[in-house]
Structure 1
Amino acid sequence: MGQNFEVSLINGVEVASFRGDSEGGTLEADLGMRDFTINSMAWDPSTGLLTDPYGGQDDLRQRLIRFTGNPEDRINEDPIRMVRACRFAARYGGEMDGQSQAAIRNRCRELGTGIAGERIRNEMIKAMAMEKPSLFFTLLHRTGLLSSIFPSLDRCAGLNGGPHHGETVFEHCLLVGDALPADQPLLRLAGYLHDTGKFDAVRFKAGQLTFAGHETHRDALASDLGQLRFSRRETDYILALVRAHMRPLTQDSTPRAVRRLLAMLADLGLSYRDFMRMRIADKRGNLAKSPYTLSDIKTRMRKLLDEMHGKNAFTMNDLEITGQDICRIMAMPPGPEIGKIKQHLFERVLDTPELNTRQRLVSMVEEMAR
């Protein structure tokens, strides 16, 4: 849904033909069909004349986002403009006028059915490049759009963060996303979505809120990402960050615990750098606790690098024995049992890296075969 207009590329500049064909193709008619007043201005470089029939210049000075003409007409032409209005207002650190906000609230439910998911996805990715996308998410929630885009996040508004937080779950997610780098849009988006599982995991234990295991509650988020047509690779990456973000890494973490963490990251296809970025942002977004100091970060990074630079196995493919070797020694055909044996060997090697030699692993399998 949404009208298409012919665009030509001239000397690197996109040039569109007049859109107001029904009005004779005049400049004024063309400007009247633009989305917002700040985009409904035209400048003639030969004369320096600015044509501004809708007060776009004043709105730009005031950082006010206003639909051109009748908001209902502009939304009818292309409902994605509701999302763009929120993005523009957040980008310029401004607001939307009351009439535009009211029109979006009245039409917000249509977003999920009247727009291709990938168009909304593209707006979300663009928003990640701004200084504080939390303003964008706040406007989406205020106008009712968020419930059609990321209902898994929208439902967290007002959800108490529990005894270990000084903010709501929704506020925490916004703080975490803002703390992540703008040049990594998927990582940043994962920050805004990382605690959406708390809504499904919330329980009362000994009179207190608990969200134990919330990182495993990812079905609602996965459904949202699917509706927005995120690719399988993008979805897997975001869900992997959600799954891993609660894995502990402290100054007291043992080498064995660090190796198991690195094995988990390898299994999820995550880099240790992105894991650490998420951990640092997660801590910064907790108003009840102090953020990591530079010393804290260096200590944790050193623990990771020490294990990574050793001759350690972080996947089953790193074992100095193959599935074929196990089949031969056990006199068994390939199948699930061979996989279980290899997994057992991998667990042993994670605990004791010195076992990862062909001689020792063969001896262990031979012992099982007796």
Structure 2
Amino acid sequence: MNHWQKSLNAWASKPFVRQLQARFPRAEIFLVGGAVRDAILGRPTQDVDFVVRNVGKAPLERFLAQHGTVNLVGKRFGVFKFKPTGLSAYDLDIALPRTEHSLQHSGAYRDFKISSNSALPIEQDLSRRDFTVNAMAWDLYGRRLVDPFGGMADLKKKIIRTVGAPRQRFGEDYSRLLRAIRFAGQIGFTIDKQTWSALRADIKKLNRTAGGERIVPFEVIAKELVKMFDADPIEALTRLDRSGALQLLMPELLKMKGCPQPRNWHAEGDVWKHTRLALRHLTSASFRREFGATRIPSAVIWGLVFHDVGKPFTISRSDRLRFNNHDGVSTALFKKTATRLKLSSAGLDVEATGAIIARHMLLVHGQADKMKATTVEKYFFSDRFPGQLLLRLMFADISATVPPSGKPDFSDYRRLTRRLARLTKRSPGKRALPQPILDGHELMRHLRLPAGPKIGELLLLLREAQLRGTIKTKKQALALLKKRR
């Protein structure tokens, strides 16, 4: 028995599965879709879906309610969200076999008539699914793989292929055009030639409307975009570009192609090449050494995608190539795009992403050694600014800024990180900065001053001195204030 078969068969010993079999001896229960795909690939899965045959909807609902918590959100489609007793870590989908028929052939992801039928063969249920790698089932009682569309063969060949004719399958739900790209990136596969040709031919349909409303809502598009960039940003950008989806959804990015940069700083090439190289460095050994082998935050990925998008809009050739305020223009373009595509609906922190794009030139505009300590605190030790995200963006950006020597210049970045380390040494925990010596109320009481801008100025003065190590006690703070009055 293969490792993946053992993994899938482990579900047969779960109490609710054994109890289901005991209650309904004629029942057949299958693991389907992503759970089967990921088990075969040896990947952890978040999709644990079951199809139960030969049990009616009402008896199945009663059984599930007796053995866990049931959410009836999909009841009319024959789908139950189920959290089994003793398996609180899992939210399972338990469904009857279903068929789907597009009502108007509009390509809308909700334009389906869904019919459930407990007697429907599992093969028919699988026939409605999007891609062959998602159209497999594991029979928990029979211990066999049900694979009517060649999903296992496609897993071995590492290709994404539609179930049936590609244009028909895409025409049922245009969001599948982006799902194909997303799945390919998530599991490191290529897209089958016929599927890719159909995808490119139909990609413009992503922007179709009916009755004044989008057929594929931006919320659905945003979810696919964020997932695909999280999985593999380089492949996401490449496939979106080559499919024509980038022109439809984020045309601003295409202006980076052919936008020149000063060769003494950017021997790697134009802005597009620089952006792609920066994204590639997110998975480099040097990036992992700097920040650890942790998941790359979505804000860093999207920050890099858009950090220089303002350059084509600000380029000037007076004495040399200049991109004055490109960071500000990049921020505005990102926020406009994020609002249009509703990226926040997919969990992207748009404010944090915009903030790090706006400040990605911080080391160019101000030298790390000469920066005020309070400025360093504002950007790297405050809950109000995503400093750790900015560090990651700057590191990848610098890694992709390649002079003719071929060796990126990290000197300013290293001066900054040494400065951060020196500041944290003054704190007992060495992970945050020390608390201010005096607060505003104490200041007003000691100096007998009313509330106002003057208090803020004095607090800033004290904080700067404290962070530089010139004062450490309230007595020293008050002495400094007396000198300044």
Mapped to 1, the partners of 2:347 and 2:80 lie a distance apart of: 31
Q: Could you say if the C-alpha distance between residues 336 and 116 of structure 1 is closer, same or farther in structure 2, counting changes exceeding 3 Å? A: farther
Mapped to 1, the partners of 2:352 and 2:205 lie a distance apart of: 32
Q: Secondary structure at the match of 2:189?
A: coil
Q: Secondary structure at the match of 2:256?
A: coil
Q: Equivalent residue for 1:6?
A: 79
Q: Equivalent residue for 1:95?
A: 191
Structure 1 residue 220 displacement after superposition: 2.1
Q: Equivalent residue for 1:220?
A: 333
User: Which of 352, 359, 365 is the matching residue for 1:237?
Assistant: 352
Q: How many residues align?
A: 360
Q: Equivalent residue for 1:304?
A: 420
Within-5 A mapping of 1:48-67: 48=144, 50-53=146-149, 55-67=150-162
Mapped to 2, the partners of 1:64 and 1:34 lie a distance apart of: 16
Which residue identity does 1:94 align to in structure 2? T
Q: Equivalent residue for 1:208?
A: 320
User: Which of 301, 310, 314 is the matching residue for 1:198?
Assistant: 310
Structure 1 residue 134 displacement after superposition: 0.6
Q: Equivalent residue for 2:97?
A: 18
Structure 1 residue 83 displacement after superposition: 1.6
Give aligned-pair identity as a percent: 22
What are the Cα deviations for residues 206-227 of structure 1, in whole angstroms up to 9, with x where unaligned? Answer: 3533224333331221233342
Structure 1 residue 156 displacement after superposition: 3.0
2:307 is equivalent to residue 176 of structure 1: no
What are the Cα deviations for residues 107-162 of structure 1, in whole angstroms up to 9, with x where unaligned? Answer: 132499344544444434433553x4311121112223335554554543443344
Within-5 A mapping of 1:132-143: 132-143=232-243
CA contact (8 A) 1:39 1:56 kept: yes
User: Which of 75, 83, 88 is the matching residue for 2:178?
Assistant: 83
Q: Could you say if the C-alpha distance between residues 113 and 147 of structure 1 is closer, same or farther in structure 2, counting changes exceeding 3 Å? A: farther
Tell me the TM-score normalised to structure 2 length.
0.59
Q: Secondary structure at the match of 1:180?
A: helix
Q: Could you say if the C-alpha distance between residues 296 and 16 of structure 1 is closer, same or farther in structure 2, counting changes exceeding 3 Å? A: farther
Which residue identity does 1:305 align to in structure 2? A
- Let me know the Cα RMSD of the aligned residues: 4.4
User: Which of 391, 398, 401 is the matching residue for 1:283?
Assistant: 398
Q: Equivalent residue for 1:354?
A: 470
2:214 is equivalent to residue 113 of structure 1: yes
Mapped to 2, the partners of 1:37 and 1:303 lie a distance apart of: 54
Q: Secondary structure at the match of 1:134?
A: helix
- Larger Rg computed on CA atoms: 2
Q: Structure with the greater relative contact order (CA < 8 A, sep ≥ 6): 1 or 2?
A: 1
Which residue identity does 2:421 align to in structure 1? L
Unaligned runs of 5+ in 2: 1-75, 102-114, 284-293
CA contact (8 A) 1:201 1:212 kept: no
Structure 1 residue 267 displacement after superposition: 4.5
Which residue identity does 2:336 align to in structure 1? S
Q: Could you say if the C-alpha distance between residues 203 and 44 of structure 1 is closer, same or farther in structure 2, counting changes exceeding 3 Å? A: same
CA contact (8 A) 1:156 1:169 kept: yes
Q: Could you say if the C-alpha distance between residues 110 and 188 of structure 1 is closer, same or farther in structure 2, counting changes exceeding 3 Å? A: farther
What are the Cα deviations for residues 89-119 of structure 1, in whole angstroms up to 9, with x where unaligned? Answer: 2332313434332244231324993445444
Mapped to 2, the partners of 1:140 and 1:110 lie a distance apart of: 18
Structure 1 residue 333 displacement after superposition: 4.5
User: Which of 302, 318, 321 is the matching residue for 2:438?
Assistant: 321
Q: Equivalent residue for 1:185?
A: 297
Mapped to 2, the partners of 1:248 and 1:336 lie a distance apart of: 29
Unaligned runs of 5+ in 1: none
Say which structure is richer in strand: 2
Mapped to 1, the partners of 2:327 and 2:259 lie a distance apart of: 16
